[in-house]
Amino acid sequence: MNYHELVHQIRTKKTNLCIGLDTDIKKIPQFLLKEKDPVFTFNKIIIEATHDLCVAYKPNIAFYESMGPKGWESLEKTMEVIPENLFTIADAKRGDIGNTSEMYARTFFEYYQFDAVTVAPYMGEDSVTPFLNYKDKWVIVLGLTSNKGSNDFQRLTFEGKSLYEHVFEKVSTWGNIHNLMFVVGATHADDFSQIRKKVPDHFLLVPGVGAQGGDAESIMEKGQNKNCGLLINVSRDILYAGNGHDFAETAREKTKLYANILSGKISV
Amino acid sequence: MNYHELVHQIRTKKTNLCIGLDTDIKKIPQFLLKEKDPVFTFNKIIIEATHDLCVAYKPNIAFYESMGPKGWESLEKTMEVIPENLFTIADAKRGDIGNTSEMYARTFFEYYQFDAVTVAPYMGEDSVTPFLNYKDKWVIVLGLTSNKGSNDFQRLTFEGKSLYEHVFEKVSTWGNIHNLMFVVGATHADDFSQIRKKVPDHFLLVPGVGAQGGDAESIMEKGQNKNCGLLINVSRDILYAGNGHDFAETAREKTKLYANILSGKISV
């Protein structure tokens, strides 16, 4: 999916919600465990119940990987039931030397047909560029992450600038707004204005709303640009809103709550 | 495998060689493609031909992942044919918020039964600690990587200390020499003495010898500690030493070359 199609979708649906598919077999409703592929069945039902209220899905790859080859089959089938017009993000946080990053790009862009993949910046340019060589595909580089540990290194200050600011400055020269986004955690609302000075036009993927405590309204006020420029991700708070036979309806109701918050603030 | 068992193995075999299983279906001998699982067959033959000359195997997870669920099956079968007394490293470079890192730890330590997994430090303490909660398992954190891009962020300096030095100092307080190692690329031979001042007793995993140009002899002189403390990894230079029906013998001969270099320098 290209930049204009993504913005068009946000404009049409009046939402920039991304739903994180952190599907944990220990947390899905018990009665689904009798299904042949409970993780896929859960995802399929969640996607059917929510796809008109969001613009993107973000499977968290760790949750599939931890189930062995069968987990990857659940992921593959999940990708097949996500409607074509939704943006798909592999939340994989990969990154390695060039010839290995090429393999990761092949995995997520060619094999599983994702639109985007999250990548860690620590290993530098040759760990990121292999992901930039695909037309209408995206790399989403970790900038300032939502977790407590983001203070350990990301906020170390080098020459008056935090490490994460160096990441924004340097990484943004490797790609452009059509193939590169950044992760900025919703738990850092106060940093968004400063971050927008570094990357005014890029999309930012914002996890950490809901279970992790980030505030979607505040982020929308501080982080949008003229084409919205934000994808707000909610995972657990939607997926596990209910646990009974009506879990799909409960997830849809929770999705509507977020969709309403976002549509009330959206600038496009 | 615990620290003492690893050192004992190095002492007994008089080598600290790790063989990287970066098995690329495009590079293995053509005649293997008629096998049901060519990647597994190649690995099995390489392991049979080399396991008495090395102490560890390091599958590069990207190469398996890029083949979809079948690639993970090849990995699973490969793990089953690695002799019990060899140390196994999942070169995965994972790292995410706590509940997700737990899933990655489960993947590599429980499902695939690796002894160790490589992890990126960018997301800080809660992205690393879930890997430290397993008895006799190891996390190997990226310190100074072997690639050109290591200059982009890892060498940013504040008050006389590089980011990678901050990583050594801080991460080494999260674990101990029994559950924590660091990656230091062989392409940075001149930095080893300085790094040993930060982490005198930890094991260092050293990739970048061979195809990437690192010099094993020089690293052995500068990086060893009283229990050796180094795992020297070679991947492509051994795996693809030959391409004909005698590829196993050719790989063994190349392995012997490295084993001889290392045994001539080893301190234990």
Spell out the domains of chain A, with CATH numbers in brackets.
3-265 (3.20.20.70)
To the nearest whole angstrom, how far is the Cα of B22 from the nearest Cα of chain A? Answer: 9
To the nearest whole angstrom, how far is the Cα of B268 from the nearest Cα of chain A? Answer: 31
Whether A252 and A227 have beta carbons less than 8 Å apart is answered as: no
To the nearest whole angstrom, how far is the Cα of A267 from the nearest Cα of chain B? Answer: 30
Nearest residue in B to A147, CA atom = B97
Tell me which of B214 and A101 has the higher pLDDT: A101
Which residues are CB-neighbours of A197 under 8 A, at least 6 positions away?
Answer: none
Q: What is the ipTM of this complex?
A: 0.96
To the nearest whole angstrom, how far is the Cα of B32 from the nearest Cα of chain A? Answer: 21
Res A47: pLDDT: 98
Whether B121 and A141 have beta carbons less than 8 Å apart is answered as: no
Res B168: pLDDT: 98
Taking the Cβ of residue B69 and every Cβ of chain A, the question of whether any pair is shorter than 8 Å is answered with yes
Q: What is the mean pLDDT of residues A20-47?
A: 98
Q: What is the distance between the alpha carbons of residues B208 and B206, in angstroms, rounded to a whole number?
A: 7
Res A138: pLDDT: 98
Which among A106, A125, A212 is the nearest to B149, CB-wise?
Answer: A125
Chain B partners of A153 at a C-beta cutoff of 8 Å?
Answer: 121-122, 124, 163, 166-167, 170
Output the DSSP codes for B229-257: -EEEEE-HHHHTS--STTHHHHHHHHHHH
pLDDT band, residue A210 (cuts 50/70/90):
confident
pLDDT tens for each residue of A252-263: 999 999 999 999
pLDDT along chain B (268 residues), means of 10: 97 97 97 98 98 98 97 98 97 96 97 98 98 97 97 90 97 98 95 96 94 85 96 97 97 96 93
Contact between B148 and A154 using a beta-carbon 8 Å cutoff:
no
Name the pTM for this structure: 0.97
To the nearest whole angstrom, how far is the Cα of A211 from the nearest Cα of chain B? Answer: 12
pLDDT at A214 over 90: no
Res B197: pLDDT: 96
Q: What is the distance between the alpha carbons of residues B61 and B41, in angstroms, rounded to a whole number?
A: 17
Nearest residue in B to A151, CA atom = B124
Nearest residue in B to A73, CA atom = B69
Pick the catalytic residue: A93, A161, A170, A198? A93
Taking the Cβ of residue A23 and every Cβ of chain B, the question of whether any pair is shorter than 8 Å is answered with no
- Grouping H, G, I as helix, E, B as strand and the rest as coil, residue B39 is helix
Q: What is the mean pLDDT of residues A96-116?
A: 97
Res B158: pLDDT: 79
Chain A partners of B95 at a C-beta cutoff of 8 Å?
Answer: 93, 120
Contact between A65 and B149 using a beta-carbon 8 Å cutoff:
no
Res A213: pLDDT: 74
Q: What is the distance between the alpha carbons of residues A22 and A64, in angstroms, rounded to a whole number?
A: 9
To the nearest whole angstrom, how far is the Cα of A72 from the nearest Cα of chain B? Answer: 6
Taking the Cβ of residue A160 and every Cβ of chain B, the question of whether any pair is shorter than 8 Å is answered with no
Res B149: pLDDT: 97
Pick the catalytic residue: B14, B27, B36, B93? B93
Taking the Cβ of residue A143 and every Cβ of chain B, the question of whether any pair is shorter than 8 Å is answered with no
Res B263: pLDDT: 94
Contact between A124 and B96 using a beta-carbon 8 Å cutoff:
no
In this structure, the strands spanning B161-162 and B157-158 are antiparallel
To the nearest whole angstrom, how far is the Cα of A105 from the nearest Cα of chain B? Answer: 8
Taking the Cβ of residue A43 and every Cβ of chain B, the question of whether any pair is shorter than 8 Å is answered with no
Which residues are CB-neighbours of A218 under 8 A, at least 6 positions away?
Answer: A189
Which residues are CB-neighbours of A185 under 8 A, at least 6 positions away?
Answer: A144, A145, A146, A147, A150, A206, A207, A208, A212, A214
B93 catalytically annotated: yes
Res A120: pLDDT: 98
pLDDT tens for each residue of A141-174: 999 999 999 999 999 998 889 999 999 999 999 9
Taking the Cβ of residue B101 and every Cβ of chain A, the question of whether any pair is shorter than 8 Å is answered with yes
Q: What is the distance between the alpha carbons of residues B235 and B1, in angstroms, rounded to a whole number?
A: 22
pLDDT band, residue A211 (cuts 50/70/90):
confident
Res B210: pLDDT: 81
Nearest residue in B to A125, CA atom = B149
Contact between B152 and A146 using a beta-carbon 8 Å cutoff:
no
- Grouping H, G, I as helix, E, B as strand and the rest as coil, residue B57 is strand
Chain A partners of B163 at a C-beta cutoff of 8 Å?
Answer: 153, 156, 158, 163
Chain A partners of B112 at a C-beta cutoff of 8 Å?
Answer: 68
Which among A69, A97, A106 is the nearest to B66, CB-wise?
Answer: A106
Res A158: pLDDT: 87
Nearest residue in A to B25, CA atom = A103
Res A212: pLDDT: 76
Q: What is the distance between the alpha carbons of residues A100 and A92, in angstroms, rounded to a whole number?
A: 14
Taking the Cβ of residue B123 and every Cβ of chain A, the question of whether any pair is shorter than 8 Å is answered with yes
Whether A44 and A5 have beta carbons less than 8 Å apart is answered as: no
Residues 47-66 of A with CB under 8 A from B: 60, 62-63, 65-66
Contact between B65 and A104 using a beta-carbon 8 Å cutoff:
yes
Q: Which residue has the tokens 């006389």?
A: B160
Chain A partners of B22 at a C-beta cutoff of 8 Å?
Answer: 99-100
Res B225: pLDDT: 96
